[in-house]
Every structure is written in structure tokens, then in C-alpha cells.
């Protein structure tokens, strides 16, 4: 860690509070781009920043530039519902997301930055015996893999979450829930800032307002990028641009990838007194809905994606109505709560609902894409694995199944059982 970065602790927080908060060091630099680096990461969201941090920390590669066309964390990292979990079942996803959750558990200490990770439990409601039996398969697989998970019968669920709609006349009568106690939420801005601050201290250049317009090819190899701030070269280039992958990949020489870009909307209510102590979710034939409460008191919730391709970072009335209806099904008391704001993130939906962290067939180019609903929770694990793949020119065992050629080889990782249709995942 650079000696120029002052560590945060209780004493300097107290002292700066007394002195009007006028003496804090700048969290990260705003450098001019250099002509050449060892590695360029395109995209300064959570995945890109985490990759740069682990390249420097784990592999000693500090000549790294993270290029962002807007501002740091202004894409999907700031446009999600901040849920962290590892209740995955399929080989490939199971080990990866559990590895990511373990990194989350120590992330604030590692970065010396409070990412506000709150392990408040992820509660998946069940409304029918068929749904319960289908989810039991998932949670039994998790437990056999060493991942925490348990069943809450109706009496335990009523005791822990008394405010749900348990009435006999409820549209969806609740019969219990599957729970991952170690899951929870984190603060999206804090995660980005923590990785940025620590990566910067290790020598990484984070360059904002630097849009990649094309890729530089020499002898069939990617050797850099053209940007609105000039040409920047590197031995290796990694893409971590979420929903923009489908527009940048052809410029890099990848052609058409097995992904589609969709938007996913989210909402925040006016501040309320503490109410929702867990992450509450339901789906599988009964709609798709999830809700938690932020530290500021707002209810943070969302539902399904828009089932058409879009690059818009704004919402629309049909999804608003659908999500509001889902909320009323299980929590009628929120019916008069005001919505404070809404937004949309653009997601790269893969054909089987699972991501890619891999080398590509284009020498010098590496891909981090296809995150569907899993992008935020995957930030530490994604950065850790992507950094290993770039540094060693070979995947780690954890992300080896998450390859781009798995479709060609017939090794789909179809977590949702939706078939090869991106919108079904």
C-alpha cells in the first residue's frame, strides 16, 4: 500500500469532524493518460475497478489504466438494488458466487473502506408445494457444496418477518421460505470508491471522461485503444463494460457475441422508519420481485427486466405498475408510500443466464461480460478471477467454466432453466 494514502480510522474521523472535514486527502488521483500501460481495463464500474485492484495487489501489475467514458461508477454499479448472495446451484456458478461472497465478508477491512456490507439474510418466499420442492433441490445442492441455506416454516417466518401478507385471502398465500443467512446488501457507491481509492494507492491510473472509440490491431492482436483523449497502448486489454459489451465487442474484433442488452429498472421509496430487516424475494411463476431497506430508510426494490432490447437508462410505466403490484401482493401496507426515484441499468444478458470471464480468440483481448442479474454481487469475485486470467493468460479453476466457448462445446450453465433465450434469465 502506498505510504501517501492515509488509512481511515476512528481517530482521524473524529479529528476531521472537529475541524470541519477540511483536511481529508483526495481519495484518488485524476491523472492524464500515459501513452502505454501493461494492462488497460475498459470500464470503471465495480468489475473494472476490482480487476485493477487485484491485478496490483495479487499479481504485482501496477502499470494499469482503467478507462471510463463517464464518471467512476456511473453505470450499472450505481443503478442496481445492491443485493449480495451466493444461492446458486449449477457447477461453475456455485463455486464462483460463493468465492465472491467470502471476499465480500472481509472487503471493508481489506480496502480500509466501509462498503456497508450487511449480512441480513436473503429470504425467498414460497407459495406452493411445487415451488417449495423445486427450490429445495437448489438449497440441498448448496448445502452439499458447503454453502449456507435453510428452510423457514411458516411459524418461523411469521416470527422473523411479521409484516408480510399471511392472510388466507392473499393472492399468493405464503407457506414458508428458503433463506441464505450470510447474504445481504452493500452500498454500491462505497464499493466503487473503496476499490478506486486502494487501486489508485497501488499505482493504478483511473481515467474518467475517456471514451474508447475503437481498438488498435497489429498483426491480428489488440495492442491498445483509441479514445477521445488520444491513443493509449497496452500489452493486454480487458473489457468490463456490462450492457455496452454488444457495441464495443465488434470494434474489438469479436463479432457478434451470444448476449443481448436489456434494461433492468429499480426504485427507491421515501425514507421510512426501520421496517425491512432482510432481503425479501419471490419469483418462479409468481412474478419477480425483491425488496430491502437502505440505511437512509428508503425501500429499495425491483422486478423483472424489460423484455425488449434497449440501451436506455430510464424506466417506463408498465414495469413500474408490475413491480408496484408485486409489492402490494406481499406487503399491502406500502400502498401509500411515495416513490422517491427510479432508474434503469443496462445489462448484458447471456444465452444461458451465466457470465463470461475469459480470454478471447483475439490475442491480447480479455472479456468480462454476460452478468444478467448477477453483476453487483459478483464484483469482488469477478475482479479477482478476471485479474488472474489476465495476469496468467489462463483462467483460475473458479472461473474456468465461465468461458465464451462453452456453447460451442455444449456446456451451458443454465441456472434459470430458461433455455437459450436471454430474456428468460
d(CA 343, CA 93): 28
Contact in structure between 271 and 298 (CB atoms under 8 Å): yes
The pLDDT of residue 310 is above 70: yes
Confidence class for position 284, pLDDT limits 50, 70, 90: low
Contact in structure between 353 and 23 (CB atoms under 8 Å): no
d(CA 333, CA 18): 42
Q: What are phi and psi of 412, to 5 degrees?
A: -60, 145
Give residue limits of the domains in the chain.
31-113+187-258+352-424, 122-184+261-347
The pLDDT of residue 381 is above 60: yes
Average pLDDT, the chain: 93
pTM of the prediction? 0.95
Question: For the purposes of burial, counting CB atoms within 10 Å of the CB of 399, is it exposed (0-12), middle (13-18) or buried (19 or more)?
Answer: buried
Each residue's pLDDT tens digit, 162-211: 999 998 888 889 999 999 999 999 999 999 999 999 999 999 999 999 99
Domain 122-184+261-347 class, CATH top level: alpha beta
pLDDT of residue 143: 96
- Homologous superfamily (CATH) for 31-113+187-258+352-424: FAD/NAD(P)-binding domain (3.50.50.60)
d(CA 138, CA 92): 14
Amino acid at each position: 500500500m502506498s505510504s501517501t494514502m492515509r488509512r481511515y480510522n476512528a481517530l482521524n474521523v473524529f479529528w476531521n469532524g472537529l475541524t470541519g472535514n477540511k483536511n481529508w486527502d483526495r481519495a484518488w488521483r485524476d491523472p492524464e493518460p500515459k501513452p502505454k500501460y501493461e494492462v488497460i481495463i475498459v470500464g470503471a464500474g465495480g468489475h473494472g475497478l476490482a480487476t485493477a485492484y487485484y491485478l496490483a495487489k495479487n499479481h504485482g501489475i501496477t502499470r494499469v489504466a482503467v478507462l471510463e467514458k463517464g464518471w467512476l461508477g456511473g453505470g450499472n454499479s450505481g443503478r442496481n438494488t445492491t443485493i449480495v448472495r451466493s444461492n446458486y446451484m449449477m457447477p461453475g456458478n456455485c463455486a464462483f458466487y460463493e468465492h465472491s461472497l467470502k471476499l465480500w465478508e472481509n472487503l471493508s477491512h481489506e480496502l480500509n473502506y466501509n462498503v456497508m456490507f450487511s449480512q441480513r439474510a436473503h429470504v425467498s418466499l414460497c407459495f406452493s408445494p411445487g415451488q417449495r420442492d423445486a427450490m429445495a433441490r437448489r438449497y440441498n445442492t448448496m448445502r452439499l457444496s458447503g454453502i449456507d441455506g435453510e428452510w423457514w416454516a411458516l411459524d418461523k417466518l411469521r416470527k422473523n418477518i411479521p409484516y408480510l401478507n399471511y392472510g388466507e385471502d392473499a393472492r399468493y398465500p405464503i407457506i414458508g421460505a428458503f433463506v441464505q443467512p450470510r447474504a445481504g446488501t452493500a452500498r454500491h457507491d462505497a464499493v466503487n470508491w473503496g476499490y478506486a481509492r486502494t487501486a489508485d494507492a497501488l499505482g493504478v491510473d483511473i481515467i474518467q471522461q475517456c471514451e474508447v472509440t475503437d481498438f488498435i490491431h497489429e498483426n491480428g492482436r489488440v495492442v491498445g485503444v483509441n479514445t477521445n483523449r488520444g491513443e493509449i497502448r497496452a500489452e493486454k486489454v480487458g473489457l468490463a463494460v456490462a450492457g455496452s459489451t454488444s457495441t464495443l465487442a465488434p470494434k474489438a474484433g469479436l463479432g457478434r457475441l451470444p448476449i443481448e442488452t436489456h434494461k433492468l429498472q429499480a426504485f427507491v421509496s421515501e425514507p421510512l422508519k426501520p421496517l425491512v430487516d432482510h432481503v425479501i424475494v419471490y419469483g418462479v411463476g409468481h412474478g419477480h420481485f425483491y425488496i430491502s431497506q437502505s440505511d437512509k430508510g428508503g425501500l429499495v426494490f425491483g422486478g423483472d427486466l424489460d423484455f425488449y432490447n434497449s440501451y436506455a437508462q430510464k424506466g417506463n410505466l408498465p414495469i413500474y405498475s408490475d413491480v408496484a403490484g408485486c409489492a402490494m401482493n406481499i406487503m399491502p401496507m406500502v400502498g401509500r408510500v411515495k416513490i422517491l426515484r427510479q432508474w434503469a441499468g443496462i445489462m448484458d444478458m447471456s444465452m444461458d443466464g451465466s457470465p463470461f470471464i475469459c480470454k478471447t480468440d483475439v490475442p491480447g483481448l480479455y472479456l468480462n461480460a454476460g452478468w444478467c442479474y448477477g453483476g453487483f454481487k459478483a464484483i469482488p469475485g469477478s475482479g479477482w478471477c478476471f485479474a488472474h486470467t489476465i495476469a496468467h493468460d489462463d483462467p483460475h479453476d473458479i472461473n474456468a467454466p465461465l468461458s465464451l466457448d462453452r456453447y460451442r462445446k455444449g456446456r451451458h450453465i443454465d441456472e434459470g432453466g430458461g433455455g437459450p433465450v436471454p430474456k428468460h434469465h
